[in-house]
Structure 1
Amino acid sequence: MAIIVIVFCCYWPVINGGFLWDDNDFFINDVPEQPTTRLIHASDGLYGIWFSAEAVDYWPLTLSAFWVQWRCWGMEPQGYHLTNIALHAIGAILIWRVLSALRIPGAWLGALLFSVHPATVASVAWISELKNVLSLPLYACSLLCWIHFEDTQKKRWYGLALLTFFLALTAKASTVTLPLLLLGLACWRRGRICRQDYMRVVPFFLLSLAMGLVTLSLQHKATALLPVRPEGLASRILASGWVVWHYLLTALAPFRLSMVYPRWEVDPASLVAWFPLTALVALFALLWGYRRTTTGGPLLIALGYFVLSLAPVLGILSMSFHRYSLVSDHLQYLALPAITTLIATALVQWARNTRRRAVPLGIALSLIVVLSFLTFQRAEVFRSGKNLWRDTIQKNPTAVVAHVNFGVLLHDEGRFDEAVAHYEKALRIKVGSYEARSNLGLTL
């Protein structure tokens, strides 16, 4: 109950917020170029959502949820925001239950820290990211059912684990990593992976393979029309190290978060480009050497889950968001519980092993207060498009999409001179920006 109350308090600013950015693609832009909107609006849209490749991405459960919500809320964003906030709170509670089932110290604190972490705001306050806040509870539920199956050997828990995993995949395909996590759990709990463990996860792998192929096919179709990653494979592999360190930094020090971060140019010919990935591999090697210690083991498990959950979004494969940046807060939503749980476990173990328990307890309370305050502040930024793009421009003045979108909002208010200034700024940053040039022409 406490988690639910705290979450709604932290996200109070966005309850009466509006639609942001590509929310329009789901609810407003009912044009041939946006078939997703047509499917959500159509009375028979559910069939097309599940059994056609008409939508840009294959998230049938997420789009079905939008289809239902459209009939409940229409163009009133409050209902969509309340749904996202509620799902986020449910996800945090299920994380707590999973951690408790695994007997991990600090389970409730880890879930609470996740629920109030400001990096989650981009998933909760942005209506389009329903896929994140819907897939995480299903992912956690599948894990919980799997743990119950292993503990009881009752087949109904296995069936429920498989069903909820399928639903998680249909909410967002980045949950494909669950089968690897299940094998990791077997190794962690029993010290080895036996043939029976492999056989049990085969159906999970088959579901992952099927959803992965569908997603890759649709992503290829989408990015073929508008290429988003000109870099070669070597650059992409090296950039994955940069991505992991960025997410670790924002997880541990969530300050100056931005909707769009600067887009790195990772040149394999530069020695500097190799450092982040090399350092990451070295860190894993070090932790592997100390895996049997009380510190090295938990660190290896937490970091392993963190990187595993990020694997689909590390940038080896192209994503539409890569045209703006290689990283985004909403892309680390599934991985973030690893870091908050690690911090919570460390604090609880410290409290158990010291006579001065007030110190770790005070740090835990301070973390909750500070993170909640930062999340409340960040939620205020997501209250409106103007707040969001103004904040993005302040933190990343080179974000072309921020200048263009802010210009559109200024244009809608009749502030044409200011809109023109932002379009011209976008064109100075990226001469070939079609959106900036088109909007500038319409304004002039």
Structure 2
Amino acid sequence: MISPFRFGRMSIFISVAHHSAIQACEMRDKICERWLVAGICVGLVALVWFVFGQSSHFPFVNYDDPTYTYEAPQIIAGLSWDGVVWAFTHAHGGNWHPLTTLSHMFDCGVFGIRAGAHHFGNVLLHTSATIALFFVLRRLTGALWRSAFVAAIFAIHPLRVESVVWIAERKDVLSGFFFMLTLAAYLHYTRKPSIGRYLTMSILFACGLMSKPMLVSLPIVLLLLDYWPLKRLVDLRTLRNLVAEKFPLFLLSIASGVATLIAQTRAIGSFEQLPLSSRVSQALLSYLTYIRQMFWPTKLAVFYPHSEDGSVPWQVLLAGAALAAITILTFLLRNKRPYLVVGWLWYVCMLIPVIGIVQVGLQGHADRYTYLPQIGLYLGVTWWVSELLSRWRNAPVALTAAAIVIIASLAGASRVQASYWKDSERLWQQTIANTSDNHVAHAHLADLLLRQGRISDAISHCQEAVRIQPNDTDAQNNLGLAYLQLGDEADALIHFEQSLASNPRNLNARCNLAWVLATSSDPSRRNGERAVELATSVAQGPGRGNPTVLRTLAAAYAETHEFGDAIETAQEAIAIAKATGNDGLAADLERNIAAYRLNQPIRSRP
């Protein structure tokens, strides 16, 4: 006979053994999942470096890279306390993004002006943003493979090439990294709200804004995530509370917006040429263009010219109708498929700062603007397709096969697209081939050819740029430089003057015109006083610390017989030229100083 006591102990032992077995299985599952997550991360890293690792062997390109790096004395000087102060108190490249500026200073201080190291920094930041996106989406939704797929598409879509491979777009990948960290910090805050966690999130958001102000719409993205998948937004009362919760973040966005508008005053001047109706039309078309490029990324270019003739009315109306229809449809489906409205509004709202209503520059649209906004589309489409096929018995196999094909195709296309950035000539030739009437591409290709001494080819592209856009200030300036190299000062002066007539703030044209007015061998063309005025306006502005600008100013002083000022200015230019490794310019300046000591202005060869 078995006693009740012994029977009770046996029951306890069985229960404990069963519980231990469950714990062991759960532990094994967690270990397997961790290895799976680690494997996904390794795969994402491998994808990024397969596509973009080649850029570590690429040079700088002649489009904005000089302004952001090797032609900016404050940048190539490296990190210093004075550099930090300058970064926070000055615009750089027409923008106020001090953390981006500091990152360029860091690269120059550590690696010098080796382009490969700067490219490496961009790829590293993009890799970090990709991994962070995967972890954030996984924690937000609990969906492992969907999160991995969205992160993979973000990592290697051809539209990412411009943001990652272009050194001047450090601001994209740096702000993207802080964007992901802000999302992670917000998720951490929502789990257990506290002042410390909110402050951490706010600091990361501020860092993102100081990397690129395009993040001004991030508080709206957080509200969208409150609706889905966090489900914190359930009615109007909670909406009011959640908006109030993000009020400090909106204040940061407003402050960043004001700083950006002040810094971009000069760049924004270009949009005055375009009426509001043209800008609104272009904005509507751009929304659909980015969607088309997401699914069919062909004929990509570093610059898409803005159509100044306006758009075909029926195309604009159709675009507006399509956008309205998508918006209405996602709202109607918000209860059953909330990820659709969240993903769509993520895309729409994040593009607003750069969609072109406030036109900065001459581009109609730009690949780099999709860096963060298209994550919303990837999210919505991925969850929608997965849910549609979830009831199909063979869905896992079909989805896996489709994902592999899509990722492999995009990776291959992106690797080819990235290869066009191997040198500036190839980049601009591809841009000219993929667009029409692209005066900016012709002007920049002409600039490159001038530097290579291919004068006749440069003149041909300059003339094509001027034919397309007679008021292209850069093309007119380059045409002047081409004629100057041919010894035709008369025609050079004409085009420098035309460049300044189109844009009185063109610093290159001011400096080049000052050089001719100060050094021409023809006395009838010299005008020392105007040369000093032009060169001083550049040297005391954005051209401060540029040895070539100082060399021009010294020549202008010498033409007005201010030889003491000429010698002092030339000596300052020599110090900067030697510090930046420009020994050829330093030697030329030494010869100039020798002439100034003899009270002799310098003269260009006739």
TM-score scaled by length of structure 1 = 0.91
Are 1:254 and 2:289 matched, yes or no? no
Contact conserved, 1:58 with 1:215, CA < 8 A, in 2?
A: yes
- The separation in 2 between residues aligned to 1:396 and 1:364, in whole angstroms, is 31
User: Match of 1:211, SS?
Assistant: helix
Match of residue 8, structure 1, among 16, 36, 49: 49
Q: CA deviation at 1:343?
A: 3.8
> In structure 2, what residue type is equivalent to 1:285?
I
Which residue of 1 is the match for residue 148 of structure 2? 108
Which residue of 2 is the match for residue 422 of structure 1? 461
Aligned pairs for 1:27-176 (under 5 A) are 27-30=69-72, 37-38=73-74, 41=77, 43=80, 44-52=82-90, 56-103=94-141, 105=143, 106-176=146-216
Contact conserved, 1:310 with 1:335, CA < 8 A, in 2?
A: yes
Which residue of 2 is the match for residue 311 of structure 1? 352
- The separation in 2 between residues aligned to 1:129 and 1:205, in whole angstroms, is 25
User: Match of 2:264, SS?
Assistant: helix
Q: CA RMSD in A?
A: 2.1
Bigger drift between 127-136 and 394-403 goes to 394-403
Q: CA deviation at 1:11?
A: 1.0
In structure 2, the gaps of 5 or more residues are 1-41, 484-606
Match of residue 263, structure 1, among 302, 306, 312: 306
Which residue of 2 is the match for residue 217 of structure 1? 262
User: Of the two structures, which has the highest relative contact order with CA contacts closer than 8 Å and spacing of 6 or more?
Assistant: 1
User: Match of 1:418, SS?
Assistant: helix
Contact conserved, 2:92 with 2:101, CA < 8 A, in 1?
A: no
Q: CA deviation at 1:55?
A: 6.4
> In structure 2, what residue type is equivalent to 1:29?
E
- The separation in 1 between residues aligned to 2:287 and 2:45, in whole angstroms, is 30
Counting aligned pairs with the same residue, the percent is 26
Q: CA deviation at 1:234?
A: 3.1
- The separation in 1 between residues aligned to 2:158 and 2:116, in whole angstroms, is 20
Q: CA deviation at 1:347?
A: 4.9
Contact conserved, 2:189 with 2:197, CA < 8 A, in 1?
A: yes
> In structure 1, what residue type is equivalent to 2:467?
R
Aligned pairs for 1:174-323 (under 5 A) are 174-188=214-228, 189-190=231-232, 191-192=234-235, 193-224=238-269, 227-265=270-308, 267=310, 270-294=313-337, 297-320=338-361, 323=362
Which residue of 1 is the match for residue 66 of structure 2? 24
Which residue of 1 is the match for residue 10 of structure 2? none
User: Match of 1:319, SS?
Assistant: coil
Are 1:338 and 2:338 matched, yes or no? no
Contact conserved, 1:39 with 1:46, CA < 8 A, in 2?
A: no
Q: CA deviation at 1:441?
A: 2.9
Contact conserved, 1:241 with 1:276, CA < 8 A, in 2?
A: yes
Q: CA deviation at 1:209?
A: 0.9
**Bigger Cα Rg:** 2
- The separation in 1 between residues aligned to 2:90 and 2:115, in whole angstroms, is 27
Aligned pairs for 1:386-397 (under 5 A) are 386-397=425-436
Q: CA deviation at 1:272?
A: 3.7
> In structure 1, what residue type is equivalent to 2:250?
F
In structure 1, the gaps of 5 or more residues are 31-36
Bigger drift between 132-141 and 98-107 goes to 98-107
Bigger drift between 266-275 and 110-119 goes to 266-275
User: Match of 1:421, SS?
Assistant: helix
User: Match of 1:334, SS?
Assistant: coil
> In structure 2, what residue type is equivalent to 1:290?
L
Bigger drift between 387-396 and 103-112 goes to 103-112
